[in-house]
A and B are shown apart, each in its own frame.
Chain A
């Protein structure tokens, strides 16, 4: 297929490599080095989508990051991605793309009816329309809008691509590789500074790729290539293309998204799709250039109307003509440069210049080439629906208010230039208060806020010579400050054509009797009339006008619309633009893939997985695992076809009748040493610790300063000045920080050290009436009798050559022991326990059985110590010392904490002894009371009691101490259950605690 709009041997594309691609199902060809936009334009395709609100036909407006229209749904390697700018997407073999905002098709679009109904969709239509009746929103309006609007469809498949994060530090980070970025990077690199140079496009050079200039007796493009080639050889320089710095955050940290694979048909093995760089820079040079701004006129959104700089870029970089009969509409000399390029390549343009009598070298050149130039002329309206066919043009009075007679001239594209807007986004994100520069009718950065310097066109400097001089100087100066080197680099001489002043003209008045839509924001379909309505309705602040009209709120963030919007508001309000001010720039500068932001922290990698040393044994023995914080713990050990309920019941029952073993490695362990350790514990825990003898363990509860229980656990005195503290699995890290807080900040005089030993010890709890028999077999030489090792006793032993710590403590309420060995010996310990426990019918048990055992004993755990309860609520007030002070004690005097009907833990049994009670259910007095039914409390934990073979739950309810024996109702609206229950003691099994002492 021929490419009617491709010039021969012009541009930077690789004509030896032809690529095929599909757009809306139709096959086309392009070349390596094309973007999807340039390849489509080469094939004469200008209609690419429909607009968001009115579904008007959309073409290409820009050639890069500023593009407001050309958004497509991309298909690549069996994946799809929405919101891709065709002007940024590089072509690859097999690329497929589809239009968005089109239903049913780009050529016939039902939503375009909005275009004829547009009187009903003015500013604020989201707020005014579709709001009534309310029930219509979900059923009718919203589904309709969803189908008719949107910027594409997100894939619901798992994203197979990999995204990386990288952290980097440098002396100078330079955003943009145009003339300014290259000069400062070169000067800084020569001073030995560590430089990162980032370019968002595939090609380095920025404006030098398209401008007709000479630097050091070479073309601008050749000079740029030479500098880049040299920078790449320098070890202190990182040069990155396809890399967009999109955010400027605190303390000079910037974030850059590098597209590693988007330009390839398929991501290479071991390569990420994108790489997000977090860069901490000593100095940041913002050389992000400028974006041409449009002039507003009637139907200025018709496909074929585009920025004059984009037309020049398509021609010079891609060898593509955006039209063969171009009309150039300009208020400055840039339009002439585009016209000259057309003329040089055999296409005769017509220039309309709003200025009366401009004179400059560029204009002289255009004249000498014989280009048709009409001064004091404007485009009144573009004509044509899916493509520009002609333009209504007219002369304009000097005050820009009166149009002359309207003429129609044929053209197939309108290239518009309303002068240049510096890209100040990064500087603004840094916190820089920008200022308005009258000469260029635009904002430029003010005083630096962080360590940032803005140079070149981004700073409103459009002279190449001045840009090179200031950028070389700045690169040298900043790097010298850091490296102390001062190598002189001579600034090359520059040949550029001098241009004349631009016309402060930005919007063509409507001719009498015509009501053309004149668009400001092309992606969100915001027209001049919308802003006028918003102001008429009383909106004044530019931030409010923005939100009401959605001006600048599209994915292009108003890169081509902001300033014209501000001009309009200031004109209507009779203010000057700086008085109106601009809206806040926020990161990201361009849309960034969610995948890139998330990086590798997905699925299993979203948090670390911790496994006990016995994990492989559990795996081999059919453990079904459960996430317990960051740990993986066996929930139950499946036998045959058992489910969770059957398996855990069997395991719990075996503990009550024989003996079980549970992996308790995950418990937090903290080693506490020092002469003041006892005093420290006495202040941390609510109960008394000064008299705990060596070789004894004690259960303790610690509070936060607000009186709420923070954690519980046992702490054992290993030797005179050495304690071993255990915490719950979930709170281990918080408890350590808590202890460190008091030792370092509040009581630095206490001579105590704390260190986490959670991972140093493997733990096994042996529980059940036969646990002593197992222990005796494991330690045949120890006296483990009730007298030799009483409840809460501690001893050290030798487990067949392995040093072991033995604690007689119990969570299950049965006679129980906990053995700890160094982690490396965990598996050995476990196997010995299983081996010697066999004759006593030992079975491993998981967390589910563990829960059952503790619930029916009324032992509290995380579901009761939920950050809302005090010791009394958990029936732990017996552990609260009246004699000494401790953390949080003063709070326990609060009125609510000592109220007579204070909430308290109770046991709950269903009257039918059959119905399981869902955790989280509420307890009420009267199941039929009108809503809101007063809630007495909630079910904190539920189990199937293996002792009584019926359901049993724990609950924390108001006035719990007086509720024993009451009949209440458990209500679970979520599960649609109402269960009549009886309140019983929370100590359902062995209330006197005889078993643990037996």
Chain B
């Protein structure tokens, strides 16, 4: 079970969080004309990365904030966690 540092609450066990997918995906702006390919890439197409991955989690049984976690998908090492609006360096 992972041990995750919520940037708002501190170290918490994984059971308090729910996974929210790839954090690097950007939603296209509303009312913007975009191609089918761009939309499909946003909705469906994901890389199944081995290694460092920036992902979204929600601290669902805690502060309910969505956060970003930089994690190694192979080793589960967590490098850093970020608030939703924090710039990922």
Q: How far is the CB of B11 from chain A (nearest CB, A)?
A: 9
A803 within 8 A of partner (CB): no
Chain A hits for B76, CB < 8 A: 250-251
Residues of chain A within 8 A of B65, CB atoms compared: 744
Cβ proximity bits B44-59 to A, threshold 8 Å, 1 near / 0 not: 1000000000001010
A 431-466 contacts with B by CB, 8 A: 431
Are B1 and A431 in contact, CB atoms less than 8 angstroms apart?
Answer: no
For this complex, 23 residue pairs linking A to B, each with C-beta atoms less than 8 Å apart, are A250-B76, A251-B1, A252-B3, A253-B1, A280-B3, A280-B13, A705-B27, A705-B42, A705-B43, A737-B58, A737-B60, A741-B20, A741-B58, A744-B65, A744-B66, A744-B84, A748-B84, A885-B30, A885-B31, A890-B28, A890-B34, A890-B39, A891-B43
Closest A-chain residue to B75, C-beta based? A431
Q: Which residues of B contact A1 (CB under 8 A)?
A: none
Contact of B66 among A167, A252, A745, A885 (CB under 8 A): A745
> Interface readout for A64-103 with B: 1 if CB under 8 Å, 0 if not?
0000000000000000000000000000000000000000
- List 6 extra interface pairs beyond A250-B1, A740-B58, CB under 8 A: A249-B1, A251-B3, A278-B1, A705-B42, A705-B43, A741-B20
A706 interfacial contact with B, CB 8 Å: yes
- Using CB atoms, name the residue of chain A closest to B44: A706
Known: A250-B2, A705-B42. A745 touches B31 (CB 8 A): no
Q: For the complex, count residues of A whose C-beta is within 8 A of B.
A: 24
Residues of B47-89 at the interface with A, using a CB-CB cut-off of 8 Å, are 56, 58, 60, 64-66, 75-76, 78, 84-85
Chain A residues whose C-beta falls within 8 Å of the C-beta of B24 in the assembled complex:
none
Most buried by A among B43, B44, B76: B43
Closest-CB distance, B38 to chain A (whole angstroms)? 9
Specify which chain A residues have a CB less than 8 angstroms from the CB of B60 in the assembled complex: 737
Residues of A within 8 A of B3 (CB): 250-253, 280
Q: Does A746 contact B (CB under 8 A)?
A: yes
A683 in the interface (beta carbon within 8 A): yes
Tell me which of B30, B44, B78 has the highest count of chain A C-beta atoms within 10 A of its own C-beta: B30
Q: How many B residues have CB within 8 A of the partner chain?
A: 27
Which A residues touch B66, using CB under 8 A? 740-741, 744-745
With both beta carbons as reference points, the residue of chain B lying nearest to A893 in the complex is identified as: B36
In the complex, what residues of B have CB within 8 A of residue A278's CB?
Answer: 1
Q: In the docked arrangement, what's the CA distance between A746 and B30, Å?
A: 11
**Given A705-B42, A890-B34, A890-B39, A746 contacting B27 (CB threshold 8 A):** yes
- Closest residue of chain A to B84 (Cβ to Cβ) is A744
B32 to chain A, nearest CB (A): 8
Contact with B43, one of A167, A706, A740, A884 (Cβ below 8 angstroms): A706
List chain B residues, Cβ under 8 A from A885. 30-31
What 7 pairs across the A-B complex have the smallest Cβ distances?
A251-B3, A885-B30, A885-B31, A744-B84, A744-B66, A250-B76, A890-B39
Nearest neighbor of B32 in chain A, beta-carbon distance: A885
The DSSP consensus for interface residues of chain B is: loop
Q: Which residues of A contact B75 (CB under 8 A)?
A: 431
Shortest beta-carbon distance from B13 to chain A in Å: 8
- Give chain B residues whose Cβ lies under 8 Å from the Cβ of A431: 75
CB nearest to A705 among chain B residues = B43
A969 to B78, CA, bound (A): 56
Per-residue CB proximity of A732-749 to B under 8 Å, as 1/0? 000001001100111010
Residues in B neighbouring A705, C-beta threshold 8 A: 27, 42-43
Q: Whose C-beta in chain B lies nearest to the C-beta of A888?
A: B43
Instruction: Tell me which residues across on chain B come within 8 A of A249, comparing CB atoms.
Output: 1
> A278 to B3, alpha carbons, bound, how many Å?
12
Give the shortest distance, in Å, between B52 (CB) and chain A (any CB): 16
Q: Which residue, of A251, A280, A741, A884, has the highest number of chain B Cβ atoms within 10 A?
A: A251
CA distance A893 to B37 in the complex (A): 12
Cβ distance B18 to chain A, nearest Cβ, rounded Å: 7
Give bound CA distance, A968 to B77, whole Å.
57
Q: Which residues of A contact B39 (CB under 8 A)?
A: 890-891
List the B side residues contacting A740 at CB < 8 Å: 58, 64, 66
> Max chain B CB contacts within 10 Å: which of A431, A737, A740, A745?
A745
Closest to A754 in B: B64
Q: Whose C-beta in chain B lies nearest to the C-beta of A249?
A: B1
Shortest C-beta distance, B21 to chain A (Å), equals: 10
Residue of B nearest to A706 (CB): B43
In the complex the two chains form, what is the Cα distance from A748 to B20 in whole Å?
17
Complex interface bits, A883-899 against B, C-beta within 8 A gives 1, otherwise 0: 01100001101000000
A251 to B12, CA, bound (A): 11
> Is A745 within 8 A of B42, CB to CB?
no
Q: How far is the CB of A734 from chain B (nearest CB, A)?
A: 10
Smallest CB separation, A74 vs chain B (Å): 31
A705 and B75 CA atoms in complex are apart in Å by: 31
Residues of B within 8 A of A741 (CB): 20, 58, 66
CB proximity to B under 8 Å, residues A274-332: 278, 280
Q: Scoring A residues 716 to 757 as 1 if CB is less than 8 Å from chain B, else 0, what string do you get?
A: 000000000000000000000100110011101000000000
Tell me which residues across on chain A come within 8 A of B58, comparing CB atoms: 737, 740-741
Closest beta carbon of chain A to B80's beta carbon, Å: 14
Quote the shortest CB–CB distance from B65 to chain A (angstroms). Answer: 6
Taking CB atoms, residues of chain A closer than 8 Å to B43 are: 705-706, 891
CB-defined contacts of B42 to chain A, threshold 8 Å: 705
- Chain B residue at minimum C-beta to C-beta distance from A167: B13
A706 to B45, alpha carbons, bound, how many Å?
12
Report how far A884 CA is from B31 CA in the complex, Å.
Answer: 7
Complex Cα spacing A893 to B34, Å: 12
- Report the bound CA distance from A250 to B13 in whole Å: 11
Chain A residue with Cβ nearest B65: A744
CA distance A59 to B85 in the complex (A): 66
Contacts of A167 in B (CB 8 A): 13
Q: For the complex, give the distance between the alpha carbons of A746 and B26 in Å.
A: 8
What residues on B are CB-neighbors of A253 within 8 Å?
1, 3
A891 vs B78: C-alpha distance in the bound complex, in angstroms?
A: 34
| Complex: A744 Cα to B56 Cα, angstroms | 12
Contact residues of A between 624 and 659, Cβ < 8 Å to B: none
Q: Report the Cα distance A431→B28, complex, angstroms.
A: 40
Separation of A164 and B20 alpha carbons in the complex (Å): 31
What's the nearest-Cβ distance from chain B to residue A718, in Å?
A: 22
Q: Looking across the interface, which residue of chain A has its beta carbon closest to that of B78?
A: A251
Report the minimum CB–CB distance from A527 to chain B (whole Å). 38
User: B66's closest neighbor in chain A, by CB?
Assistant: A744
A748 touches B30 (CB 8 A): no
| B60 closest partner in A (C-beta) | A737
Chain A residues near B84 (CB-CB < 8 A): 744-745, 748
Contact with B along A652-695 (1 / 0, CB 8 A): 00000000000000000000000000000001000000000000
Complex alpha-carbon distance, A744 and B65, angstroms:
8
